[in-house]
């Protein structure tokens, strides 16, 4: 048999075998944030972290319940870490199991002794508005909310600047 014909037959046979092989399709993972979640990054603008006696939290409150008079609908603990004895300033967070609606997202400090917990930042009214002592009442009626859609679509990119120093609270 001619070597050229043998090569063509071999190539056709391989194509035939390959085309009959089982195709396995991989479904891509979900795009975007998980259902019923809000996520983003908190970046602290100072290093005056409270050394003990409480926990930094990022919380979501229903926008209809703002300013808060009760606990949040969801919260995540911000565990302050250090690298070479210097505190890290940026922390990613995820708030889970939120029902559809609009939420005010804030950074606060929950004292272990109880009492009022200071809020150092509110999404849409973060520390950029308070730098240089400018102050603002924006936190009472924040212009931005995080939204969970009616089909439970989560939202991402809710990034905030915050004080770590609890004496610089906004609420």
Contacts 24+ apart (CB under 8 A), 71-80: 73/98, 73/99, 73/103, 74/38, 74/98, 78/42, 78/107, 80/49, 80/56, 80/164
Q: Map out the domains of the chain as residue ranges.
A: 38-168
- Largest alpha-carbon pair distance within the chain? 93
| Residue 117: Cβ within 10 Å count | 18
Residues 41-77: pLDDT tens digits?
999 999 999 888 899 999 999 999 898 888 899 999 9
Q: Is 0.85 topped by the overall pTM?
A: no
Residues 97-118: pLDDT tens digits?
999 999 999 999 998 888 778 8
User: Any idea which of 75-89, 95-109, 123-137 has the lowest mean pLDDT?
Assistant: 123-137
Q: Are residues 121 and 39 in contact, defined by beta-carbon separation less than 8 angstroms?
A: no
């Amino acid at each position: 048999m001619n070597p050229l014909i043998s090569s063509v037959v071999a190539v056709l046979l391989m194509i035939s075998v390959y085309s009959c092989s089982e195709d396995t399709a991989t479904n891509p993972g979900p795009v975007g944030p998980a259902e019923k979640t809000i996520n983003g990054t908190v970046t602290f603008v100072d290093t005056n972290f409270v050394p003990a006696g409480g926990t930094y939290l990022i919380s979501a409150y229903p926008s209809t319940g703002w300013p808060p008079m009760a606990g949040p609908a969801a919260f995540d603990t911000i565990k302050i870490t250090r690298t070479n004895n210097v505190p890290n300033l940026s922390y990613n967070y995820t708030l889970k199991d939120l029902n559809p609606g609009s939420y005010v997202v804030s950074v606060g400090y929950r004292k272990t002794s109880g009492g009022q917990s200071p809020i150092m930042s509110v999404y849409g009214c973060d520390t950029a508005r308070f730098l240089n002592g400018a102050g603002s009442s924006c936190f009472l009626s924040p212009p931005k909310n995080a939204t969970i859609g009616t089909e439970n679509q989560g939202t991402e990119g809710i990034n905030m600047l915050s004080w770590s120093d609890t004496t610089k609270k906004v609420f």
